[in-house]
Chain A
Amino acid sequence: MSAKLFSKDEWVGVLEGLKDAYEVYVPVKEGDFHNFRPLKEGTRPSFDFQNSRMSPKFLTEPQSERMFEYTLDEDQPDAHVLKEDKKELPSRAVVGIRPCDAYAFQLVRRNFDTPEYVDPYWVKRYEATTFVGLGCNDPCETCFCASAGSGPFDRKGLDVLLYDLGDAYLAQGLTDNGEALLGKTKGGKEPDEDAWKQARALTRQVAGKGSRRVPTDKLREKDVNALYEAPFWEDVAFSCINCGTCTFLCPTCWCFDIQDEVQTLPMVGDRMRNWDSCMFPLFTLHGSGHNPRSQKTERVRQRFMHKLKYYVDKYDDGIQCVGCGRCVQFCPVNIDIREVAERMNAL
């Protein structure tokens, strides 16, 4: 696999050059935080960040998208006929995504791309995306990626891995898609042995710092009913205000809701798909009026049981969490998944 060394002076030009072949997403500073945005005229990429506030999951699952449109005007010949919303799904490159967030797409794929069911929008978007990850020289204190199957320089979800060497980026191709992208870059040079040495030293140094260890090793063997009935759920859930912050910021929360939005004059409608959250009472409200998770304790338990037990049991490949720490940092009431995992693991 090939590699290239780009000086930081030429970096923005390199990204601009990729725009011919890709829609390029880059981290952009917006007020107090960064988010990934398309590189357009006037966009100023900013790689001086720990992680984006919103996870890049919107690249494959936008918060809201129109799936169909229709008319309810009985005078029209196509009244009540759902017409698929035509979507442009161009080749895209997301540059600067953190390894944990890129790995998250692998977990989420289990839900959207199965032998039985394929979500066409998610899969097409995923396949059209090249993931150019930026290794974490300075992981957040709320991160626990190394305990969640990922790591500061984890390659699993990436096509290209970037090492930030201070005044240059060392870009290492990891897949055919990554090779193709590197082949399309202008500028850069063959990395010398010194660059590789620096990259290896960086990896060792960051691994040595060690992110917080969150024990999850016993979750698989725990009895599901014992965990479900564990005495601590009411305690864990007490402070929860049932907002959607944790689920909306989470790179691995994949749930959505489909809603029709109908307007009069003219009588037309859109069938929308929006992010949903298991924290919301409406999430499980049945048509009958019955709600199997009407209480917040049940909803909080569901979120943690899904991530730390049901998923673990179903796929036998670790937890449904990549340890990015967003929910830990931004939960308004400081519910900390690391502590909940410890309690579940120790039951």
Chain B
Amino acid sequence: MIEYTENIRDIARRLLEEGTVDAFIGYKKGSVPMMNEPVLVRDPADVDVLHWDSNCGLNLCNYLTGRTDKVGILATGCNSRNIVTHVIENQADRDKLHIVGVPCTGVIDHRAVKRAVKHREISEVVEEPGGARFTVKGPGYEETFDKADFLQLNCATCRHRNPVEYDELVAEEVPEQENVEAFKDVEKIEQMEPGKRWDFFERTISNCLRCYACRNACPLCYCPTCFVDESKPQWVGKSIDPTDTMTFHFLRAYHCAGRCTDCGACERACPVGIPVRQFTKKLNKDCVELFDWEAGLSLDSRPPLDVYRKEDPNDFIR
């Protein structure tokens, strides 16, 4: 996707020069391999900092919350669905957004790459134009990999690579992935005995620092005060007691029910590599099965937890 960079700069320059937008939100190349930094550009003279490659894994929709100016923003499939969700939830005004759609071929799983080079130092990761392969360079070695083998897990099972809502695209749409088995991992957990499942959850969160990188990387988490930060009443303890930590993770996931686009920003952000999507994905699966719902596909439909339908599958609500 590195070839998008020039187009992105041209589009941003035009939008800023024409005054279509006051600011443009994109990425600049990071100072560390496989890490790019979200950036806000106001001056057309600065658009050359903008950069795009397969390591743009944070969700830019995060940076829309609370903005009142006219903003241009890059949006991949999942990011665009989060923008839709933001608009539906009155966190962003569609009229003030200029969405520049990025047909996405997936984000590289930086942890998988580090594993593949056996945790040797990585000095540089170079993506080939077209993006099918990338080369990892470090002191005394150089290895080339197929990107398809190193996609973030959410990207490997993504069914919405192309933006669903946009004002213009940086490139032609990419083919959508077909026959992906999106919820295989969730099914495995569902099939566990309750005791085993509990052990699995405990193991999964055992390294959690309560740094809240997962929560803060998520565009859905925009509450002025999160329930974990409330002190009157105190809903949950602030230590690293496993019960409190588990409460945080489960409640965070439930708060995302019917809203999560599985963008993977939470999992990518975690400093200790907790697969936090395991929690949100279960609720995504429930939403597909119970309500035939995937979040953020249209500005015209409300998420399942804030609508009433006579065909609701649950008896108690009809």
Contact = CB atoms under 8 A, between A and B. Distances in A.
Bind each other:
yes
A229 interface: no
B152 to A, nearest CB: 13
A20 B41 CA distance: 61
Interface in A310-347: 328-336, 338-339
Interface string B229-241: 1010010011111
A140 interface: yes
A299 to B, nearest CB: 12
A266 interface: no
Given A243-B213, A261-B234, A64 B32 contact: no
Nearest to B57: A332
B216 interface: yes
Contacts of A248: 209, 211, 271
Contacts of B268: 332
Interface in B222-278: 225, 229, 231, 234, 237-241, 265, 268-269, 271-273
Contacts of A282: 229, 231
A241 B40 contact: no
A335 B216 CA distance: 15
Contact of A32 (B115, B212, B239): B115
Interface in A240-268: 241-245, 248-249, 257, 259, 261
Contacts of A272: 237-239
B291 to A, nearest CB: 30
Contacts of B216: 241-243
Nearest to B60: A239
A249 B32 contact: no
A120 to B, nearest CB: 20
B37 A31 contact: no
Interface in B183-229: 207, 209-213, 215-217, 225, 229
Given A274-B238, A280-B229, A332 B209 contact: no
Given A243-B269, A335-B37, A238 B238 contact: no
A261 B37 contact: no
Given A261-B237, A272-B238, A241 B269 contact: yes
Contacts of A141: 121-123
B273 A32 contact: yes
Interface string B97-127: 0000000000000010011000101110000
Given A142-B32, A243-B216, A334-B31, A53 B272 contact: yes
B240 A63 contact: yes
Contact of A244 (B123, B212, B217, B240): B212
A75 interface: no
Contacts of A64: 239-241
Contact of A238 (B38, B58, B121, B234): B38
A41 interface: no
B76 interface: no
Contacts of B31: 328, 334, 336, 338-339
B123 A245 contact: no
Contact of A243 (B114, B123, B212, B237): B212
Contacts of B39: 238-239
B154 interface: no
Interface in B28-46: 30-32, 35-40
B46 to A, nearest CB: 10
Interface residues of A, number: 42
Contacts of B240: 63-64, 274
A130 interface: no
A30 interface: yes
Contacts of B271: 53, 245, 248-249, 330, 332
B209 A244 contact: yes
B37 A334 contact: yes
A248 B269 CA distance: 14
B207 A30 contact: yes
Contact of B37 (A245, A259, A333): A333
Contact of A334 (B32, B212, B217, B265): B32
Contacts of A242: 216
Nearest to A328: B32
A332 B58 contact: yes
Interface in A265-298: 272, 274, 277, 280-282
Interface in A84-124: none
19 contacts: A32-B114, A54-B209, A63-B240, A64-B239, A138-B121, A239-B38, A241-B269, A242-B216, A261-B238, A277-B211, A280-B229, A282-B231, A329-B32, A332-B213, A332-B269, A333-B37, A334-B32, A335-B37, A336-B32
Given A33-B272, A141-B123, A242-B216, 6 more contacts: A33-B273, A64-B239, A259-B238, A261-B237, A328-B31, A332-B271
Q: Which 9 A-B pairs have the closest CB atoms?
A: A332-B269, A64-B239, A243-B213, A244-B211, A241-B216, A334-B37, A239-B38, A334-B30, A334-B35
